[in-house]
Structure 1
Amino acid sequence: MSTPPVKLAVGDTAPAFDLATAGGGRVRLEDLRGAPALIWFYPAANTSLCTKQACDLRDNHRLFVDAGYRVVGISPDPVAELDRFAAEQDLPYTLASDESHAVMAAYGAWGEKNMYGKLVEGTIRSTFAIDADGVLTFVKYRVGTPKHIALLQEKLGL
């Protein structure tokens, strides 16, 4: 397996990224400057837990928009899969592809995890809030999908 993942904390500078997105665009950390952003890392589009999390964020998207947040979901899926996921689930926010896992590793969202009793290397479901200056204001590794929105509402004051 790989080396232990990075563990970011509130107050750290968010690692820079530049990723291809669903719809044929790109998203860079620099593009998000000037307003807060919510970055969430998930293992795979169109799987049950990831779809539930994506749809919960979709259904509560107005909470984030009203507070000025831009929402970006990042997974190791290729762009074509993200296009399909966004269309099928009517997702209103940006989905980005990190097939190399480099951005996930920089955020500590790629590494060893336990899946059904077996240690595997993969995406660690994680969420980060970043302020207008690129500083982390919220960090949560191993996000529990059913409580994701309630946790964000509490911690981000939404």
Structure 2
Amino acid sequence: MSKLLEIGQPASNFTINNQDGKAVNLNGFLGQWLVLYFYPKDNTPGCTTEAQDFSKLTPEFEALGAKIIGISPDSEKSHCKFIAKHQLSLELLCDSDHQVAESYGVWGLKKFMGKEYMGIIRSTFIINPEQNIAYIWSNVRVKNHAETVLKKLRELQS
């Protein structure tokens, strides 16, 4: 597992496709706040709740000049189905080779029902307009997480 980025460090640059097959580059968000959240899998209970919560709060994030982007190893097709099924207002990126997750230090050993495997460690990063890491949550608990992120963004901007 790679080392988790730290607050104050430059965010790792990336270029990967979104759900529509359009390349998205971190540099495209220079000058604005970005909430980058990594999640394990489309259409699983925790990931669905997290995506729905961020979607509901999108207008409040946008009012603060922030964009929300979710990243998982799922395919464009999976992301499209996930967005349609749950009426999500988020852009989701496809990190199928988990290179972006590794560069942010969120690809690691997980345990579930006695089995160990490599996967996404649910994490959220607030990236400031200069593209430095402003805040990090690792091993996120989904309940009320989107509200917590919104509150922290308000604090960071005040």
Query: Which bracket does the TM-score occupy, shorter chain normalised?
Result: over 0.9
Query: What is the aligned partner in structure 2 of residue 59 from structure 1?
Result: 56
Gap regions ≥5 residues in structure 1: none
Gap regions ≥5 residues in structure 2: none
Structure 1 Cα separation of the partners of residues 60 and 151 of structure 2: 12
Query: What is the aligned partner in structure 2 of residue 41 from structure 1?
Result: 38
Bigger mean CA deviation after superposition, 108-117 or 96-105: 108-117
Q: Pick closer, same or farther for the CA change 1:87–1:110 going to 2, 3 Å.
A: same
Structure 2 Cα separation of the partners of residues 18 and 104 of structure 1: 12
Q: Does 1:123 align with 2:116?
A: no
Give the CA RMSD over aligned residues: 1.3
Query: What is the aligned partner in structure 1 of residue 67 from structure 2?
Result: 70
State TM-score, norm by structure 2: 0.93
Alpha-carbon contact 2:37-2:124 (below 8 Å) kept: yes
Runs of 4 or more above 4 Å deviation: none
Structure 2 Cα separation of the partners of residues 157 and 117 of structure 1: 40
Partner residue of 1:26 out of 13, 18, 23? 23
Alpha-carbon contact 2:61-2:150 (below 8 Å) kept: no
Correspondence 1:131-142 to 2 at 5 A: 131-142=128-139
State TM-score, norm by structure 1: 0.93
The total of aligned residue pairs comes to 155
**Identical amino acids, percent of aligned pairs:** 32
Bigger mean CA deviation after superposition, 66-75 or 4-13: 4-13
Partner residue of 1:80 out of 77, 81, 101? 77
Structure 2 Cα separation of the partners of residues 131 and 116 of structure 1: 38
